[in-house]
Amino acid sequence: MKKLIFTLTASVLLSGAIFTSCNTSAEKVENAKEKSIKADEDFNIAKEEYLTDVENFRIETAAKIEANKQMIADFNLKIVSAKKDAKAYYVEQIAILEQKNIAMKEKLEAYEVSGKDNWEAFKTEFNKDMNDLGEAFKNFTVKNE
């Protein structure tokens, strides 16, 4: 008798759990729509953050490139009074720095938005190249002082 009561109780509880956990087709569709909408919202937010990051990076880097242009102009003014041999060397070095600066600007302008992974790789490489260019400017000013 105890076994029969236990079996009936277990069956009733199991049946109740099954019926309450089952969703109708309409509920399943509604849940799927909600998940899809949430995923779309998350994607749009992530995309917006990515595009904002790209734009901010471009603005910051453009400012650095403009600062480099100003340093080049300053260098050109400083070398006017240099000796002929030194002046030739400085003109050559300034031309190299100017070409590197132009190349960095073109590289940044040529970048096309193509995904966050590509962006992170580009950004890392570009920052390294900008730091190298900054060091070249710094080393040039040390030699010029």
- For the chain, what are the domain ranges? 24-144
59 has a pLDDT exceeding 90:
yes
126 has a pLDDT exceeding 50:
yes
Q: Name the residue with tokens 């242009």.
A: 69
CB 130 within 8 A of CB 64: yes
pLDDT band at 29 (very low <50, low <70, confident <90, very high): confident
Percent of the chain with pLDDT over 70: 86
142 has a pLDDT exceeding 60:
no
For residues 65-71, average pLDDT? 92
pLDDT band at 144 (very low <50, low <70, confident <90, very high): very low
Residue 127 and residue 67: Cα distance in Å, rounded? 16
Q: Is 34 helix (H, G, I), strand (E, B) or coil?
A: helix
CB 33 within 8 A of CB 99: no
